Amino acid sequence: MKKSRNTLAKTKISDLLTQSKNALSHSEIHEFLDGFCDRVTIYRVLDRLIEEDFIHKIVTIDGLVKYAACHDCSTVKHHHNHIHFNCEQCSTVTCIEDVEPLFKLPERYKVNNVNFTVSGICPNCI
């Protein structure tokens, strides 16, 4: 994992994702930044933050990609094998970090990444 230099755009995007309770899409990040930087810069920063293990990517039930900050990870233990809850009503995606799903694969399969997305209605929409 190579650390890249900190730019103002990278700082603003990482702060935004860290403070957000929900995962955000590229367009939501662009909207929150209100013209601070262009769409290409946002993509580049998101790619760098993923490479540095600062954020992770989630694919929603609709196929939309959202990004969330790593809250429970450390330099020793980095994992995203938690459940992502996708609300069918308000479309928010929330990391449920205190629940680690269990599964068993046949022999000779090696898991590198897990993406569990559960859909339903969130507490705010019930």
The CATH number covering residue 89 comes to 1.10.10.10
77 assigned to some structural domain: yes
Residue 113 lies in a domain: yes
Q: Is residue 92 one of the residues assigned to a domain?
A: yes
Residue 1 lies in a domain: no
Lowest mean pLDDT among 4-8, 24-28, 78-82, 117-121: 78-82
- Whether residue 114 lies inside any domain: the answer is yes
Tally of domains in the chain: 1
Q: Which domain holds residue 19?
A: 8-120
pLDDT > 50? residue 1 = no
Q: Give the residue numbers of the binding site for Fe cation.
A: 79
Mean pLDDT of 43-71: 91
pLDDT (tens digit per residue) in 60-89:
988 999 999 986 655 555 566 788 999 999
Q: Does a structural domain hold residue 50? A: yes
The residue whose two tokens read 């755009």 is: 9
d(CA 15, CA 18): 5
Cite the annotated binding site by residue number: 79, 87, 90, 122, 125
Residue 2 maps to a domain: no
Note whether 89 and 120 are within 8 A (CB).
no
Cα(103)–Cα(111) distance, rounded to whole angstroms?
Answer: 11
Show binding-site residues for Zn(2+).
87, 90, 122, 125
One-letter identity of residue 1: M
- Do residues 72 and 99 lie in contact, with contact meaning Cβ atoms separated by under 8 Å? no
Angle between helix 39-51 and helix 26-33 axes, rounded to 10 deg: 120
CA distance 43 to 117: 23
| pLDDT score for 126 | 93
